[in-house]
Amino acid sequence: MSSPKIHSFTWSDAEDGDSDAPIEGCSDSPMELVEKELHVWVTYPEDRPKRNRKSGRARRKGPKLWAVAIIEALRKQEEFTYEVTLRRIYKKEVRFITVCVTNDPTDQSEEAVVFSFVRPRLERLDPLEKHMSMLAAKRVYDAIAAEWPEASGVLVGERER
């Protein structure tokens, strides 16, 4: 059987079940993201041609909820750096993943490190866990940017010069 393909994702606070769409007016502070859930939907590829039988595999017809990642805790490390603990739930298995997210308004260079895995090691995570961690980190990254002081306006002014 082929492995499922990621179809879309949805945040628990998204309006109208909009998948993949950014949450409009999202000015959450990072601490307000605790207990938000990321739902990942997958589709199952067809392995063999369909038969004319009534008892086919219904799970292959459309996207199905595959896994959930819950932002369990956020711990502020520095001014624009947070350690994020995710609880990944897949079927009956639960795993905790910790990542570090940084979004410093004074360091927006291409070389800036904005995301890193703390535990478990990167090699121990499967592709779905890596993907879910990146999606959750992006949400925290955007929330950190919403907290920037007026310095974000100064940065825009410096780029125009």
**pLDDT at 20 exceeding the cut of 60:** no
Helix (H/G/I), strand (E/B), else coil: 128: helix
- Give the CA distances from residue 68 to residues 23, 42, 103, 118, 155, in Å, rounded to whole numbers and listed in that order: 18, 12, 25, 20, 36
Domain residue ranges of the chain, discontinuous segments joined by +: 5-18+26-47+58-160
Alpha carbons 33 and 144: distance in angstroms, whole number: 11
Residue 83's pLDDT band, with cuts at 50, 70 and 90, is: very high
Residue 161's pLDDT band, with cuts at 50, 70 and 90, is: very low
Structure tokens at 133: 């961690």
What is the pTM assigned to this prediction? Answer: 0.72
